[in-house]
Amino acid sequence: MMDKIVFSLLVVLTTGLMGSAFAIGKIGLAYFSPLLLVALRFTIAGVVMAVIVKALKRPHPQKVKQWLQMAAVGFFQTAAVMGCIFLSLRTITSGESAILTFTNPLLVVVFGTIFLRIRYRIVQWGGVLLGMAGVFITMGGQLNIETGTFLGFISAVSWAIATLLIKSWGHRLDTWVLTAYQMLFGGLFLFAASFLFEDPFFEVNTVSLGILLWLAVMASIVQFAGWFYLLQTGDPGKTSAFLFLAPFFGVLSGWILLDEQLHLYVLTGGALIFTGIFLVNWRSNSPGKRK
């Protein structure tokens, strides 16, 4: 087990990058159309990582079926998740979007039970119920539920689907190769969506380029590398429990960078969701039994 101080610093770094990407992405919407911004972000990140895994001679798929599986993961994990997130930022705060998106571990339990016939412990189901109550409060705490509210929740659904696909297919694929190419495929899907469903625009200046590079390098490549390093060197179940910090950093960065108000209903719903995710993930490294 790595030194606890190093582990703690990496947890804060990776979850901080995950959460802060929401606020920085919202700032970027002043210079980019939403889908084009996220398309550029993940295409750049995917190309860079693809070059790295090729140079490191990581094992690449030999069958067309495995490439199609990576493309499917890229569609749900990158295109659908990130597309919905960045579209949601047009009508809701970055903090609300982060909270809704990171309900995905709760949905993994529900979908895993239905589709993969996995059994979960009572405490995990308690976490799901607590988290869903938090979602209800977060979504219903305002008189007019915005389009972005539903988009934020759809991003969580897509992320949960991607997680189950990775559970089913991931053991046949190299983790780093899968990460690189799912981002690249997702970026290409997003480019297509940008030209089909929006009027793409990109204002070129030092601020917009800085935002794009930060999202592509720090919030994508560095964040993924750090998180996978933590999962590989630490206890995966206990490490995953720290994902509840990401929406906290999302709310915090929105408050600091965008002066977003911390509404009581968002904080209350967020606290319930964080607690629910913690219960779902804590000590969940023991695989559930199939029925």
Report the C-alpha gap between 219 and 53 in whole angstroms.
19
Other beta carbons within 10 angstroms of residue 56's beta carbon come to 10
pLDDT, tens only, 130-148: 888 887 787 665 545 788 8
pLDDT, residue 143, reads 45
- Report pTM: 0.86
- d(C-alpha 290, C-alpha 210), whole Å: 47
pLDDT at residue 154 greater than cutoff 70: yes
Query: DSSP per residue over 190-222, as a string?
Result: HHHHHHHHS---B--SHHHHHHHHIIIIIIIII
> Would you state the pLDDT for residue 243?
74
Domain boundaries, the chain: 22-281
Supply the mean pLDDT for the chain: 87
Cα angle value 117/119/120 (rounded, 5°): 135
Spatial distance between the Cα atoms of 243 and 246, rounded to a whole number of angstroms: 6
Q: Quick one: pLDDT band at residue 194, thresholds 50, 70, 90? A: very high
As a whole number of angstroms, the distance between CA 68 and CA 52 comes to 21
